[in-house]
Amino acid sequence: MRPAANQPSQPAPLQAEQKRPPVPADSGYRAPWWLPGPHLQTIWPLARKGLAPPYRRERWETPDGDFIDLDWLDGPADAPLVALFHGLEGSSQSHYAIGLMRALAAKGWRGVIPHFRGCSGEPNRLARAYHSGDSEEIDWILRRLHPAAGGAPLHAAGVSLGGNALLKWLGEREHTAANLLASAAAVCPPLDLAISGRHLATGFNRVYTRHFLATLKLKALAKLTAAPELFDAARLRRAASLFDFDDLYTGPVHGFAGADDYWLRASSKPWLRAVRLPTLLLLAANDPFVPPAAQPEAAELSPAILFERPASGGHVGFLTAPWPGDTGWLARRLLSHFEARQDTI
């Protein structure tokens, strides 16, 4: 896989006659009255995820000598296959992953969750890990999944970090993405990493940042055993923000000059106009990770993107009544989108 520095540059602006972007549509989602505010809508669903269906784990060796682990939801060989790219420090045990895989099982479809490097429960081998703009990894995974679909439709969903990486891939592979996928969906992607990253360093959002850094730091520090020259351990331990962490580790290790360069070049927002595959973009207006300044205007969207922006939902929350909350709305919305695009590749 090529390093980040060799990834395609940002797309040219659309010509005037191509600008036919949709306005945000009504997803039909309404938050329960007893779950007010973006933070409760983000946190409470974490306690409602339930049990995952039985997974079959498979390990793939990467071209650069590393590995990734995939958790499969098996089903009929001719059933559609849905690949889910998880969020920052997520996995097949994340609440949204469990919800989607349970819905797929009930429908008789197949599913697969490729874990980004180091997220499957076992450290990866190399100094590198994963990042928000890792569209090269997305490309390699989808090219291996396509034959595994066996001629049935292959759909892809990305959540948060995974959604940003998937959208970037869709824009970069503007005219070729349809060779692999029937449709795609991105749920609560950060889109503009600089805006979201800095927003997560303010107010109550610092709680989320501390949660992420707790595991990110441990994983990065463990890499010093094999590569002690990789970064300054004391400086990493002092990192109090995602900017600090990305400036010291994520950016330089993955081919960027630092956090500013990484956040600029890994953001998917500049690529949204180039997306040609039918894609659902679902983003709550009150998402605490994606403030209004990071959310797209109509002119920044390709006509292929169906942009739904409910007023509430938090960050990958979308819980519905009755009490204590139903987590199934998000999976149902994704499956509805995928069902509408049942073209066999």
**Catalytically annotated residues:** 160, 287, 315
Q: β-pairing, 56-61 with 67-73?
A: antiparallel
Distances (CA, A) of 132 to 94, 142, 297: 17, 17, 21
The residue among 112, 111, 119, 156 whose CA lies nearest residue 138 is 156
Which residues partner with 49 through β-bridges? none
The residue among 216, 214, 280 whose CA lies nearest residue 248 is 216
Q: What 3-state class would DSSP assign to 41?
A: helix
Question: What counts of helices (H) and strands (E) characterise the chain?
Answer: 11, 8
Per-residue tokens: 139: 């490309």
Q: How far apart are CA 226 and CA 22, in angstroms?
A: 50
